[in-house]
Structures are given as structure tokens and as C-alpha cells.
Amino acid sequence: MRHKRIPKRKAVLAGAAAMGVATAGVLLQHAGAAEPGAEGAAGPAAQQVSAASATRLAERLAPRLGDAYGGAFYDGDERRLVVNVVGDDADVKARVREAGAVPRSVRNSADTLGTATRTLAGRADMPGTAWATDPRTNQILVTADRTVTGKKWDRLEKSVASLGTGVARVEKSAGEFKLFGSGGDAIFGGGARCSLGFNVTTQDGSPGFLTAGHCGVAAQQWSEEQGGAPVGTVQAATFPGDGDFALVTYDDPATAAPGVVDTGDGRTTQIVRAADAAVGLEVARMGSTTGLREGVVTGLNATVNYPEGTVTGLIQTDVCAEPGDSGGSLFTRDGSAIGLTSGGSGDCTAGGETFFQPVTTALAAVGAEITAGEG
């Protein structure tokens, strides 16, 4: 599929993450079932909910539980929200059950884990490290890529140990954290190649699209072919810092930019909403280099220390990606726009960790809305 300016006669399936990529249909993995310790007895049966509904339910419960709240995750097999609860307060657990979720006793509160991430930001902010909240283990997952060795590794271990027992754990990645902003065959600008994420409508009604911020700072204008005429101009870009996203508006205001993702072989997924991620959420990613890939959200509020700078507030997944996939769509099969590909380690042969900019945060920052459906 190719994203084109639509003069008057042509229609394009814009909003897709790639151009001219043929891949198989969406085949999504199942999220893991609730871990031992989830408690569903002594109260109303937990409701079966969609991932989107689970996210909204967790947002409502968190302030009601206060210091007892320890995060939440979505059990895809059972289609239930599992809520971590600190302590043995029967009233707190009853509130969780009454809301339709499953309470699970844990050690660390969400506030404790939040304090831990801020501590890491001051002590372990070196290229090649990343951390994200993992509510399934009730810990901060700290990942170090292959460049973190010697004194850097010692510093990282010391920083994690200072958080206290059971607060965080360290894992090694065989790859190297990098931005996925070169290679591929999608949108082109200033020698860089990236992927288009989702079509949007700006506050003044103009058509545009979201892509990665590190793509937006690499070039001001973007085309659909290498060396081709520009079709879009960057209006806002954030990278590094509080995100990795950019807003590009189409130069032709008559561009028809429907809200779909081209998943290859003539198939598309209609995008009907923007939604927040939840750990355990099954997702698919479309990118111009590796096409359609699938996996699960594994962490939230991730911080990644790229060589180019630190980025906060990202989504961590086990979905693979490679150079050229930057900016590509992370979405669900029921049409929720979730994220924009930022970077990570590994590739689609060896696997690895991949990080995404939340779409909801990007939309709020640039004042735009997802272009829903066929448009």
C-alpha cells in the first residue's frame, strides 16, 4: 500500500504503517493467564471485559484504592482485569471485586514503584539501559543492552540494589538499543526513512498523520518515494524527552486520509479509536521494513536511554521491529490505535524489546484526533 496525496480521483488507504508491504493476516498471541495469588473468591465473580474496558476500569480503581494500589494487568485468556493490592485489607479487596476485577496480593505499591523509577533516572541514566513497570511481577524491569559492561554494569547493579529487595530486577538484552529510523521503504525525508503511523485530523480540520518524533526532527518535509516530491510538512516533533512523536500535515488540504491500517494482501484494519495500553494487551505492529508483527504489551511508563537521548513515558512490548519501522502503527484487532514505534533492541529474527510512544499522549500534545474508519 502507498500513502498518496489524493487529488480528486484517487483514494488511498492512508493511516497504515507502511507502503507496498505484503504480509499475512493478523495472528495475535494470547496474553498469559493470571499468576498464582490472584484472588477471586469471597465476592462477586470478576467480569469478563475487553482490554480497552480493563484499562478504563483500572484508571477508576487506582485513586479509590490509594496507597493499597499496586498496579494492574489484563489477563487475556480469562478476559479479566487483575488488580494488585498491597496488604490484607479485606475491604480493599472487596472494592476490587465489586468493581468486577480480581484482587491479587503483592508487596510493592504503585507509589513505591514510581519512586523507584525516579531513583533510576538519577542513578542509571546511561545509554543502553531501560526500565518499565511490570505489574505481573510487581517490579520494575530494568534491561541492559550489550553495551552495558564493566563499570557501567557495576553502576547499574548498584543502582538496582539500592532500591531494596524485590523492587526491581535486571535482565540483559543481546541486542543494542537503537532508534528504528533508517532503512525500509515508507516515508522519506532528508535521507531518513520511517513509517507512517496513524492518520489524524488537526484542530483546524486539516488532514495529517503521526509518526516518530526522531523522524520528525530528522527532516521537515516527507515524501512517499525516495527523492520524490514532498507530500507532508512537520508541524510539531518531540524527541528526546517526554516522548517520541511528530505531527505531519499533508501539503494538499484535499488529501483523503482514511483511518485504516493496511495489513497487507489487500487487507486493512479500521481504526475507530485511540486507547491506552495495558500490560497483557495483545497488539499488532505494522512497519515498512518488517510488515505485520504481533505480540503483547509487557511494561508501561518505560524510560529508554538511547545514545541520542533519554525518552520517557513509553510502552514496552515483545513485538519485534527493525530499522525503517520507526513511527509505524501499534494497534489492536478491534481497531484501537495504541502506539508509534520508537526503538529497541534485537530484530525480527532474534527478537528483543521494542518501545512505543503512546498515541493518546501524542494526540493530546499536538491537539489532534484519530481519523476513524474509512473517512
Catalytic residues: 214, 244, 326
Phi, psi of 331 (to 5 degrees): -150, 175
Residue 221's DSSP bridge partners are 233
- Cα(134)–Cα(86) distance, integer angstroms: 15
Q: Grid cell 484519530 — which residue?
A: 370
Task: Compute the Cα dihedral for 154, 156, 157, 158 and give only its sign.
Answer: positive
Which CA distances in Å does 15 have to 11, 179, 263, 323, 361?
A: 12, 21, 11, 19, 18
Q: Calculate the CA 264 to chain-centre distance.
A: 21
Q: Grid cell 487506582 — which residue?
A: 62
Which letter does DSSP use for residue 4 in this model? Answer: -
Amino acid letter for position 288: S
* DSSP three-state, residue 75: strand
Amino acid letter for position 112: T
Which letter does DSSP use for residue 27 in this model? Answer: -
- Cα(192)–Cα(144) distance, integer angstroms: 27
- Cα(196)–Cα(187) distance, integer angstroms: 7
Identify whether the C-beta of residue 358 lies closer than 8 Å to the C-beta of residue 185.
no
Task: Compute the Cα dihedral for 277, 204, 240, 160 and give only its sign.
Answer: negative
- The neighbour count for residue 169, using CB atoms within 10 Å, is 13
- Cα(180)–Cα(152) distance, integer angstroms: 24
